[in-house]
Amino acid sequence: MENTALVRLTNVGYATSGSVILDDIDLTISGGDVLGISGPNGSGKTTLLRLLATLHKPTRGDYFILGATPSSSPEALLEARLRIALIGHYPSLWPEMTLLENVEMIDRLRGTGPSSVDPLETVGLKDLAGWKASRTSLGMQRRVEFARILNHIPRLLLLDEPHAGLDEAGRPLVDHLINKVIDQNGAVIMVSHHQYLVNPVLTRRGEVTSGTLQEIST
């Protein structure tokens, strides 16, 4: 079943400034997979997500991420990147722009027109569309990031503690987004605390300890 794998990491390691962050990661992700990852502070969870997002290049090992490989062309890398979305620790909003502009700028960069459904309405921020991002809370900014992704459902969605800052009402948005990706045969990898990893939407669970990934059988 080689061709259905979206992601394949073989013996992947990452080191920086002489210190090893990740060591010997083997991972295969196929369409429909929702992998939840936990692990103690500093174990390398965020670095693993950045490797999967092609934002860091592994310092050893072999990888295949939506067609991007260590020797792939810039075009193939770009193809892969356009189908990856990452929600990281810190919100990726321009503080000087309004919430609506923050969504629209990305649409314009990708060259897509406005969608039929207003994504800010879906995430419950329609009435605050004209607010500058600098006036809003972390949870609201998270919702704006979700709204951006709703306009371009990725093949591979990477979430780094997406529940952080979200209130009770906002939390179901995470599952909504995951389901949207799975509906289109994509895959999701979510780093989170144990409490969110009991979620039935997850199909696989793993733990990063001392730089290696261990899958927990469910």
Residues of this chain that interact with other proteins (CB under 8 A) are 16-23, 39-44, 53, 55, 57, 74-75, 78, 81-82, 84-86, 88-94, 96-97, 101, 105-106, 108-111, 132, 208-212
118 touches 85 (CB < 8 A): no
User: Helices 138-151 & 99-110, crossing angle to 10 degrees?
Assistant: 30
Q: Least distance in Å: CB of 40 to other proteins?
A: 7
Centre a 10 Å sphere on the Cβ of residue 67 and count the other Cβ atoms it contains. 15
Q: Least distance in Å: CB of 7 to other proteins?
A: 15
User: Helices 138-151 & 172-183, crossing angle to 10 degrees?
Assistant: 20
Instruction: Kindly tell me which of 77 and 201 has the beta carbon lying closer to other proteins.
Output: 77
Q: What is the dihedral of CA 79, 85, 90, 95, to 10 degrees?
A: 80
Instruction: Kindly tell me which of 5 and 55 has the beta carbon lying closer to other proteins.
Output: 55
Q: Least distance in Å: CB of 156 to other proteins?
A: 10
Q: Least distance in Å: CB of 200 to other proteins?
A: 29
Instruction: Kindly tell me which of 35 and 149 has the beta carbon lying closer to other proteins.
Output: 149
Instruction: Kindly tell me which of 95 and 172 has the beta carbon lying closer to other proteins.
Output: 95
Instruction: Kindly tell me which of 55 and 128 has the beta carbon lying closer to other proteins.
Output: 55
Strand partners, 35: 189, 204
Instruction: Kindly tell me which of 138 and 169 has the beta carbon lying closer to other proteins.
Output: 138
Q: Least distance in Å: CB of 109 to other proteins?
A: 5
And the tokens for 110? 């990708």
Centre a 10 Å sphere on the Cβ of residue 18 and count the other Cβ atoms it contains. 5
Q: Least distance in Å: CB of 165 to other proteins?
A: 14
Classify the C-alpha dihedral 195-198-199-204 as positive or negative: positive
28 touches 8 (CB < 8 A): yes
